[in-house]
């Protein structure tokens, strides 16, 4: 195995130390409102990790856990309260929501000034046209990881697999910005002959939500692999009964890649770190007003 491991855990630790230092210096304490509806196990574990990260960096976090039967109106009411709460600078509604609640309507109810996930149409639009905005956390974390790995993507070919609003589409937009200057191909479930694209890639970002989407035979020698997948695979040898794997087959990709992000410990911790980053940024703007 020749690939360098790009540790999101290590980069997160250094960024979180920096965030904690800045948090301590601010005249206002950055506050994050975290809303979880229902008890989806993956969502509970994400939300718990986000709250712990807030505490560890000295931020204030307010958890609002609502039952799965919560009505849309009640949830919108909660968001309105957080929108007008001076102690809250960032609002996060954990997705997915139960099926009876329309996600789009809920996201758009979040004040764009507190939308630290960068999910509202206003922030997505600002990102697309290159205006100041909250960048979505996972794509922002991926940019930081690429920078941390010392990669210059200018003129290089980046292949993104996945077209979600949360990862695939924004990653493609951000990699193509002048600052990064990559040539981007966006592949998805409708792509014919996926490996004909991935084999040309200098960097592959795989965010397909399916294990083994990317295997070693699909990449060129020396490529960089950024694995966004978080898939729970049954594993009776673990006390939890499962283990986490990414969307890339780590063993075969690591044989050929020059660098690869692990799962866990790669992109995952960066998502939370960039959420803290955006919350700090929001609090700084609040303090400056
Ligand atoms: N569900 C999966 N990823 C995310 C995320 O980054 N933010 C929110 N709010 N929900 C998610």
* Local structure of 94: helix, strand or coil: coil
Burial class (CB in 10 A: 0-12, 13-18, 19+), 32: buried
Does residue 289 or residue 268 have the better pLDDT?
Answer: 268
Q: E strand or H helix at 34, and its extent?
A: strand 31-37
* Local structure of 29: helix, strand or coil: coil
Counting from 1 in the atom list of ligand 1, the atom nearest the Cα of 137 is: 6
Q: What residue segments make up the domains of the chain, in order of their start?
A: 29-111, 137-268
218 DSSP 8-state letter: G
Q: What integer pLDDT is reported at residue 121 of this predicted model?
A: 98
- Check 113, 117, 227, 249 and give the catalytic one: 117
Residue found under tokens 């083994």: 212
Our answer to whether residue 227 is catalytic in this structure is: no
Our answer to whether residue 114 is catalytic in this structure is: no
Residue pair 23/29 in contact by the 8 Å Cβ criterion:
yes
Q: What are phi and psi of 177, to 5 degrees?
A: -60, 155
Nearest to 187 by CA among 163, 210, 164, 165: 163
| CATH topology assigned to domain 29-111 | Rossmann fold (3.40.50)
Q: Is the CB of 271 under 6 A from ligand 1?
A: yes
CA of 256 to the centre of ligand 1 (A): 31
Report pLDDT digits (tens) over 207-258.
999 999 999 999 999 999 999 999 999 999 999 999 999 999 999 999 999 9
CA of 54 to the centre of ligand 1 (A): 16
Q: E strand or H helix at 158, and its extent?
A: strand 157-161
- How far is the C-alpha of 177 from the C-alpha of 179, rounded, in Å? 5
Residue pair 174/135 in contact by the 8 Å Cβ criterion:
yes
Instruction: Enumerate long-range contacts of 230-239, CB under 8 Å, 24 or more apart.
Output: 230/42, 230/263, 230/264, 230/268, 232/42
Report pLDDT digits (tens) over 170-215.
999 999 999 999 999 999 999 999 999 999 999 999 999 999 999 9
137-268 has which CATH code? 3.40.50.720
- How far is the C-alpha of 50 from the C-alpha of 271, rounded, in Å? 9
What is the distance in angstroms between the CA of the first residue and the CA of the last residue of the chain?
52
Residue pair 7/262 in contact by the 8 Å Cβ criterion:
yes
Counting from 1 in the atom list of ligand 1, the atom nearest the Cα of 92 is: 9
Report pLDDT digits (tens) over 47-83.
999 999 999 999 999 999 999 999 999 999 999 999 9
Residue pair 87/286 in contact by the 8 Å Cβ criterion:
no
Mean pLDDT of the chain: 97
Whether 5 has a pLDDT exceeding 80, the answer reads yes
Burial pattern 129-141, b for ≥16 Cβ within 10 A else e, equals: eeeebbbbbbbbb
CA of 271 to the centre of ligand 1 (A): 9
- Nearest-CA residue for ligand 1 atom 9 is 94
- Nearest-CA residue for ligand 1 atom 8 is 94
Q: Is the dihedral of CA 177, 149, 164, 197 positive or negative?
A: positive
Candidate from 92, 171, 270 with most ligand 1 atoms within 8 A of CB, to mutate: 92
Confidence grade of residue 2 (pLDDT, cut at 50, 70, 90)? confident
Query: Are 29-111 and 137-268 equal in CATH topology?
Result: yes
Our answer to whether residue 117 is catalytic in this structure is: yes
């Amino acid at each position: 195995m020749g690939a360098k491991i790009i540790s999101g855990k290590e980069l997160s630790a250094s960024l979180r130390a920096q965030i904690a230092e800045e948090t301590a210096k601010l005249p206002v304490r950055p506050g994050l409102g975290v809303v979880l509806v229902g008890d989806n196990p993956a969502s509970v574990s994400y939300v718990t990790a986000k709250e712990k990260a807030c505490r560890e960096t000295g931020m204030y976090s307010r958890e609002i856990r609502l039952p799965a039967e919560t009505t849309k109106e009640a949830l919108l009411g909660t968001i309105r309260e957080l929108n007008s709460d001076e102690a809250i600078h960032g609002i996060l509604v954990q997705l997915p929501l139960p099926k009876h609640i329309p996600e789009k309507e809920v996201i758009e109810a979040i004040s764009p000034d507190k939308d630290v996930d960068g999910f509202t149409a206003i922030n997505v639009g600002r990102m697309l046209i290159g205006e100041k905005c909250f960048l979505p956390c996972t794509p922002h974390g991926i940019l930081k990881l690429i920078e941390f790995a010392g990669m210059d993507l200018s003129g290089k070919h980046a292949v993104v697999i996945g077209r979600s609003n949360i990862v695939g589409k924004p990653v493609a937009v951000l990699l193509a910005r002048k600052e990064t200057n990559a040539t981007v191909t966006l592949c998805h479930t409708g792509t014919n002959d996926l490996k004909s694209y991935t084999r040309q890639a200098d960097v592959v970002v795989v965010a397909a939500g399916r294990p083994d989407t990317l295997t070693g035979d699909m990449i060129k020698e020396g490529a960089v692999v950024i694995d966004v997948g978080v898939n729970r695979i049954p594993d009776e040898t673990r006390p939890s009964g499962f283990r986490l794997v990414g969307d890339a087959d780590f063993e075969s990709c690591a044989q050929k890649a020059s660098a690869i992000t692990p799962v866990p410990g790669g992109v995952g911790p960066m998502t939370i770190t960039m959420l803290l980053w955006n919350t700090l940024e929001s609090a700084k703007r609040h303090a400056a007003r």
